Amino acid sequence: MKQLVFWVVLLAWLIPCQSRAQNKTQVIAHRGYWQTEGSAHNSIKALQLANDINVYGSEFDVHLTADNIPVIFHDDKILDIPVQASNYSDIMDLKLTNGEKIPTLEKYLNKGKIYNCQLIFELKPHATPERNRKAAQVCVKMVTDLGLQDKTEYITFDLDAGKELIRLAPGAQVSYLNGDLSPAQLKEMGFTGLDYNHSVMKEHPEWFDEAKKMGLSINVWTVNDPALIKELARKGADFITTDIPVEAQGILSQCTEQ
């Protein structure tokens, strides 16, 4: 009987501890870990360095070129050349600030295969609903063909793209970025999480509890202020997307110890 009581008490202690561990706020490196020597926004080097510092995930931005080649870049234009209106051959030799050529999604994903961090895939808005859906189709097929479904989580500002991602990858994590929908609306549409700017979450603090109750993950971007990182962790953010991933990890580690 004493042994039974011992195991019941031990399990009662372990389960909350495990739950607390699972609920710790984790760090996503915004456009990879780019604020260090030899790196650049959305570069393969930034992905490698994000993995090296053991963040949960590395975020990157994807556009579809006019000839349907997905490439990794944040802005709509590269040196005044519109990415989505250009063929890949028009931009393939252009370079990032660290000297890397603009990565294709295929090259980026193949590198991601060897790393432990999650690939936080932002599909950028395209010119029309048709192009948003086409971009989702091309990208999900590539992720699937490379066997990276479990390592890839999708985020997007565009509802057409988001709905298509949900349809094409029903088991994937798909979060919405725009900040104009409540957790209940996101849940109804099939999103698995909200990924909102910190200003949105400040305006709607009730969305932390609402999202948790509906089983939605909560990511907040782009958070570089130490005090705000602490506050968001206290409120229950699952993830913080930041340009200062090393510092953020230190801050969150201190929060956990307290």
Q: Evaluate whether 248 touches 27 at the Cβ level (below 8 Å).
A: yes
Which of 167, 161, 134, 140 has the alpha carbon at shortest distance from 152? 140
Q: Tell me if 127 is assigned to some domain.
A: yes
In a domain, residue 237? The reply is: yes
Cβ–Cβ < 8 Å for 174, 154? yes
Residues 157 and 63: their CA atoms lie apart, in Å, by 13
Residue range(s) defining the domain that contains residue 141: 24-257
> For residue 69, is it within any domain?
yes
**What CATH number should be reported for the domain holding residue 184?**
3.20.20.190
Assess if residue 67 is contained within a domain.
yes
- Report strand pairing: 81-82 vs 239-242: unpaired
Pairing state between β 152-156 and 118-123: parallel
Q: What is the pLDDT along the chain (258 residues), one digit of tens a residue?
A: 444 333 333 333 333 333 333 459 999 999 999 999 999 999 999 999 999 999 999 999 999 999 999 999 999 999 999 999 999 999 999 999 999 999 999 999 999 999 999 999 999 999 999 999 999 999 999 999 999 999 999 999 999 999 999 999 999 999 999 999 999 999 999 999 999 999 999 999 999 999 999 999 999 999 999 999 999 999 999 999 999 999 999 999 988 665
Residue 201 in contact with residue 207, Cβ under 8 Å?
yes
Residue 54 located in a structural domain? yes
This model's pTM is above 0.85: yes
**pLDDT recorded at residue 40:** 98
In a domain, 8, yes or no: no
Structure tokens at 71: 């490439």
Question: Could you tell me if 238 and 220 are in contact, meaning their C-beta atoms sit under 8 angstroms apart?
Answer: no
In sequence order, what are the residues at sequence separation of 6 or more whose Cβ sits closer than 8 angstroms to the Cβ of residue 89?
A: 67
Angle, helices 105-112/44-52, rounded to nearest 10 degrees: 20
Give the residue carrying structure tokens 């739950």: 19
Does residue 5 lie within any of the structural domains?
no
Beta pairing class for 70-72 and 57-64: antiparallel
Q: Total domain count for the chain?
A: 1
Measured in whole angstroms, the distance separating CA 77 from the mean position of its chain's CA atoms is: 22
Q: Is residue 139 part of a domain?
A: yes
With a CB cutoff of 8 Å and minimum separation 6, the contacts of 194 are: 175, 176, 181, 183, 186, 207, 211, 216, 217, 218, 219
Structure tokens at 154: 């999708």
> What's the rounded Cα separation, in Å, for the pair 161 and 210?
24
Could you tell me if 94 and 78 are in contact, meaning their C-beta atoms sit under 8 angstroms apart? yes
